[in-house]
Amino acid sequence: MKKKKLNLKDIKPNSEKEHSHDDGHDHSGQTNIFKAYIPAIISFTMLIIGIALDYFNVAFFNDWLRIGWYGIAYLPVGFPVVKEGWESIKKGDVFTEFFLMSIATIGAFIIGEYPEGVAVMLFYAVGELFQNAAVNRAKSNIKALLDVRPNEALVYRNDDYTSVSPEMVEIGEKVQVRVGEKVPLDGILLSEKGSFNTAALTGESKPDTIAKGEKVFAGSINMDGVIEIETTKEFKDSSIARILDMVQNATARKSKTELFIRKFARVYTPIVVFLAIAVTFLPYFFIDDYVFRDWLYRALIFLVISCPCALVISIPLGYFGGLGAASKNGILSKGASFLDAMTKINTLVMDKTGTVTKGVFKIKEVKAIGWKESDFMKYLMAMEEQSTHPIAKAIMEYKEDGEDFEAKDVSEIAGKGLKGIVNGKTILVGNKALMLANNIDVPTETDSIVESIVLVAIDNKFAGYVVIADELKEDAKETITTLHKVGIKNIMMLSGDKDSITQQVARELGIENAKGGLLPEDKLNEVEILKQNPNNKIAFIGDGINDAPVLAASDVGIAMGGLGSDVAIETADVIIQTDQPSKVVRAIKIGRSTRKIVWQNIVLAFGVKVIVLILGAGGLATMWEAVFADVGVALLAILNAVRLQRMKWAD
């Protein structure tokens, strides 16, 4: 059974519509939809008139006039199908739905059942129109992505801003973005701050405020004031280009259910054709009052019912709807097969930094001994000012009043810390080894602190310490609780951070199994051990380059798309655009809903078809029941699949 492949190239973004008017309505689209329904409207009108003339036994409506009337009514909807069936036969593909519907309806004309022949083809054509409408609805989320694809970039060249295609902009160039315009390429914000609508990229409707020096992603819409960015990637490597590529490729990766149904249809359809031939001729040898016309009619009903279009269309449409629903929620799956795989996950392994924590160091505690906290921090900040270490950056974010201190003669002591002069005082900043090397007593309370700690001594006397910690993401703890509720009982944390910190974060989140201090190969070994149990279906969530091997080895690799490295994103099967771990729960729920709807459609289609096939073979079903078993069930299955687009998932 061949259907036109869903292809994003067929969907044009708004900027490329051929006939758009200033009122914002796509009149050409409305006109095209109306034109598509004209043949069905003509056939339906003529069919109703013909049935009315038959019912009232109008004298002139008989013989050749009646045949001609119904023949003309048949052509608008029947000719395209017959033509398509003939083209398929010439290509060697005989058993298509076009062939089945052509034989069944032409056969109905041969035995004099003209109204039923027209009706079957009419309802089939209307069913096809509804299927196309459902496919277009399923494409809506992807079209929304295409609509945010930037069309131009204002680049600063030759002392002026020039409008060029985003593909022509090089890394490191300065680009201006006006209010309401789309950011054309990924970059760093040069302006003091900016507010951006990132809904198309992340699924989040709340505007995102970005500060100077932070990342801005292509496809975001500038909400407030003219801003400037410095590009960090070429357009082909930008976030929006990557999303479009992944979504397009996703439609080509079929689930096992979808592949099975397509293979099944190729075997099932010819079997039913031969059974229909048997229904026509075999009774001749066993029944005394055999009437060829009656048994041919039953065979034609058999053929109409046999069309597997309800299965072949509604199942991929169900998965396509699931992919669209996921992308609408900021979750990108690289194929329908991974939607299926998410439903089978029972073991979740996760990285720590950047996955359940923000990956940004913050001051958790300041303890000054014998000094005012503000003065203590001024000495420390003077020493850390020139350092680019993440811990130094966290310390420099501390807010204090008054004039800053200035450090002199600062030297680094390898593996221990810094030594320098601030306001005439000797300052030591570093770890416990630095303090002990200078005969400075350190309070024992510091030994129980598992987070990163910076010790400070002033004039060879211990002056206090600062605790630096990575913050948990707001939804991290709730995610673990919800994962347990949806049936993921086995959760494990693997981190390259030191084991004491990893264990503390695991305790805070309620994760019983955690290991820290791991190299990339150690993480991979841990997952390989889990995979030795064939009952374990493993998903791994990570964001760094060091997570790529484990992402590839897992049944489902899930990458954080915002802060995640390009390598991790390329290796993963599912991308969380918002960097929220709670979206993993949503991905599981969407996958389960998709699979549930697909199997509902399979049971519905098979169940109704089997019942009506039996009735048809026994002479208890007419063409009208056959139409319902084929087109009616297809429409019900399509409406069921479209529900995915309207569902709401709460984490």
* Tokens representing residue 487 in the block: 């049936």
Query: CA 615 to CA 301: how far, in whole Å?
Result: 10
Query: CA 282 to CA 393: how far, in whole Å?
Result: 87
Query: CA 155 to CA 170: how far, in whole Å?
Result: 10
Query: CA 508 to CA 491: how far, in whole Å?
Result: 14
- Supply the pLDDT for residue 565: 58
- pTM, 2 dp: 0.65
Which of the residues in the chain have pLDDT under 50?
1-28, 142, 145-146, 203, 205, 250-251
Count of Cβ atoms closer than 10 Å to residue 521 Cβ: 11
Query: CA 210 to CA 183: how far, in whole Å?
Result: 13
Q: What is the DSSP letter of 149?
A: S
Count of Cβ atoms closer than 10 Å to residue 612 Cβ: 23
How many Cα atoms within 13 Å fall on the side-chain side of residue 336?
21
The strand ranges marked E within 122-172 are 153-157, 160-164
CATH architecture, domain 359-472:
3-Layer(aba) Sandwich (3.40)
- Supply the pLDDT for residue 21: 37
How many Cα atoms within 13 Å fall on the side-chain side of residue 528?
7
One-letter amino acid of 523: K
Query: CA 117 to CA 113: how far, in whole Å?
Result: 6
* Tokens representing residue 449 in the block: 């602190």
- Supply the pLDDT for residue 19: 35
Among residues 186, 208, 340, 351, the one annotated as catalytic is 351
Query: CA 632 to CA 99: how far, in whole Å?
Result: 19
- Supply the pLDDT for residue 297: 85
- Residue 351 is among the residues annotated as catalytic for this protein: yes
Query: CA 645 to CA 136: how far, in whole Å?
Result: 12
One-letter amino acid of 80: P
Return the domain boundaries, the chain.
Answer: 8-142+249-325+591-646, 170-233, 359-472
Evaluate whether 367 touches 448 at the Cβ level (below 8 Å): no
Question: In terms of C-beta density within 10 A (0-12 exposed, 13-18 middle, 19 or more buried), how is residue 459 classed?
Answer: exposed
Give CA separation, 574 vs 151, 220, 340, 369, 371, in Å.
28, 21, 12, 49, 51
Q: Tell me the chain's radius of gyration from C-alpha atoms.
A: 34
Question: Can you state the angle between helices 256-281 and 336-344, rounded to 10 degrees?
Answer: 110
Query: Mean pLDDT for the chain?
Result: 81
Query: CA 429 to CA 415: how far, in whole Å?
Result: 12
- Supply the pLDDT for residue 435: 94
The strand ranges marked E within 525-631 are 538-542, 556-560, 574-576
- Supply the pLDDT for residue 97: 75
Evaluate whether 385 touches 377 at the Cβ level (below 8 Å): no
Question: Can you state the angle between helices 309-328 and 633-646, rounded to 10 degrees?
Answer: 10
Query: CA 489 to CA 491: how far, in whole Å?
Result: 6
- Supply the pLDDT for residue 101: 81
- Supply the pLDDT for residue 9: 35
CATH code of the domain made up of 170-233: 2.70.150.10
